[in-house]
Amino acid sequence: MKPENDLILRAARGEKTERVPVWLMRQAGRILPEYRAIRNKLSSFNELVETPELAAEVTLQPVDILGVDAAIIFSDILVVPEAMGVGYKMVKGKGPVFHSTVTTQAEADKLRIADPGSELKYVTDAIRIVKKELNGRVPLIGFAGAPWTIFAYMAEGSGSKTFSAARKILYQNPALAQDVLNKVTETTISYLKAQIEAGADLVQVFDSWAGILPEQQYKQFALPAIERICEAIDEVPVTVFAKGAYGAFDALANLPCRTLGVDWNMNIQDCRKAAGNKTLQGNLDPCLLYAPDEDLVAGTQKMVSAFGKDKYIANLGHGVYPDTDPQKVKLFIETIKTL
């Protein structure tokens, strides 16, 4: 069923749209008091992610409250390593902490190629509920982490400023890294296909730690895995967001995907030039949402002028920060809608 508001899908396919579509990375969760009311009743972040009714509820909140042009399923990129056998919990003020890591061949051998129909059923169940509740109002975005980013967390066992434990493996045991990347890639493809089967109208691949790799290693390890995913997904448009991949943007432009994400430090003109016929998505500095209204409006207008209104999906250049005032987010969205 074609959504009533299919602006994002048309922009992703490179078609003309009567106005620029807009959504926010991390819109589901974090900033809304309505989200926190639900989250605070639970004992853990994981419980929210793994309870389809609640994940669906917080997925729908920004559609109703903020007026975005798409919903994105509330989940986390780390559900994939968990489904493969490497679980984690979210620790306040610290981020994800894994119960075990993958740094040896024995640990890699123990990884399962997850079956999304069983191990990730809570995500597809949530998608089905969201689709029913949305009732065709706006498209639903599914997502997964890119294999390099997932591998980085699996090797490190937590977030990191340097991800040196993961990067060490690329130098010391590239075959092990490749083995894990292959397993993650395979799981990710079937996971995204399951999301699409359940109703996702578009999927985004997040390579959050793209920027930590030297260009050559990004092209050797990270990019081929994303390429395999893009090649495998032909049911819906695919967006690839490789944060900080300045040196590899030209190569990203050759991926068989429809849309490329642009972070707030990337030069819009350079990205437009490199991206050719692709749609671009981004890239407002999330901190501009702290600015006075007139600066936020002016910055938003400037961004759209730089991208141009065609082949463009407005968004931030990073996930929205948790202490952002929802009124500012509404102003950002309204500004885009009235341009």
Query: Which amino acids are annotated catalytic?
Result: 26, 30, 39, 76, 153
Nearest C-alpha neighbor of 25 from the set 331, 286, 238, 292: 286
Integer Cα distance of 61 and 38 in angstroms: 11
148 three-class SS:
helix
User: Quick one: 24 or 196, whose CB is closer to a second copy?
Assistant: 24
Closest separation in Å from C-beta 330 to a second copy: 18
User: Quick one: 65 or 165, whose CB is closer to a second copy?
Assistant: 165
Integer Cα distance of 134 and 60 in angstroms: 7
User: Quick one: 197 or 215, whose CB is closer to a second copy?
Assistant: 215
Closest separation in Å from C-beta 292 to a second copy: 7
Nearest C-alpha neighbor of 248 from the set 280, 276, 220, 269: 220
Half-sphere exposure of 154 (CA within 13 A, CB side): 33
Half-sphere exposure of 44 (CA within 13 A, CB side): 12
Closest separation in Å from C-beta 266 to a second copy: 8
| Contact (CB, 8 A) for 86 and 140 | no
User: Quick one: 202 or 252, whose CB is closer to a second copy?
Assistant: 252
User: Quick one: 227 or 263, whose CB is closer to a second copy?
Assistant: 263
Closest separation in Å from C-beta 251 to a second copy: 13
Integer Cα distance of 239 and 261 in angstroms: 7
Greatest alpha-carbon pair distance for the chain in Å reads 57
First to last CA, the chain: 28
| Alpha helix stretches (DSSP H) within 233-338 | 249-252, 268-275, 293-307, 326-337
Tokens of 136: 């065709």
Closest separation in Å from C-beta 289 to a second copy: 9
Closest separation in Å from C-beta 83 to a second copy: 25
The footprint of a second copy (CB under 8 A) covers: 159, 161-162, 164, 167-168, 170-172, 211-215, 244, 246-247, 264-265, 267, 285-288, 290-292, 295, 318, 321, 323
Phi-psi region of 308 (alpha: psi -120 to 50; beta: other; left: phi over 0): left
β-pair partners for 238: 203
Q: How many helices (H) and strands (E) does the chain have?
A: 16, 9
Tokens of 268: 């819009």
Closest separation in Å from C-beta 196 to a second copy: 31
Beta-carbon contacts of residue 42 (< 8 Å; ≥ 6 apart): 48, 51, 54
